[in-house]
Chains A and B, each alone.
Chain A
Amino acid sequence: MQQVPLLSLITFLPIIGMIIILFLPKNNDKVIKALTLAVTGIQVILGIVIWRFYDYSLGGIYNQATFQFVEKFRWIEIPSVSWLGTIKIDYFLGIDGISAPLILLTAIITFVATLASWNIKTSLKGYFALFLLLDTGMMGVFVSLDFFLFYIFWEVMLLPMYFLIGIWGGPRKEYAAIKFFIYTLLGSVFILLAMIGLYLSATETLADGSKVFTFNMLALMNSENYTHDGILSPLNPNNFRLLAFLALFVGFAIKIPMFPFHTWLPDAHVEAPTAISVILAGVLLKMGTYGILRINYPMFPEITHQLAWWIAMFGMINIIYGALCALAQKDFKKLIAYSSVSHMGFVMLGMASLNTAGISGAVFQMFNHGTITAMLFIIVGIIYDRAHTRGINDFGGLANQMPIYTGFVTIAFFAAIGLPGLSGFISETFVFLGAFHVESIRLITVISTLGILLGAGYMLWTLQRIFLGELNPKWNTLNDLTFREYAMLVPLTIIIIVLGIYPSLMLDLMNSSVNTMVEFLLKSPVSFSGL
Chain B
Amino acid sequence: MMTIGLNHFLIVSGLLFCFGIFGMMTRKNAVMVLMGIELILNSANINFIAFAKYGNFGYHGQMIALFVIILAAAEAAIALAIVLNIYKNFATVNVDEVNNLKE
Q: Do chains A and B touch in the complex (CB under 8 A)?
A: no
Q: Which residues of A contact B (CB under 8 A)?
A: none
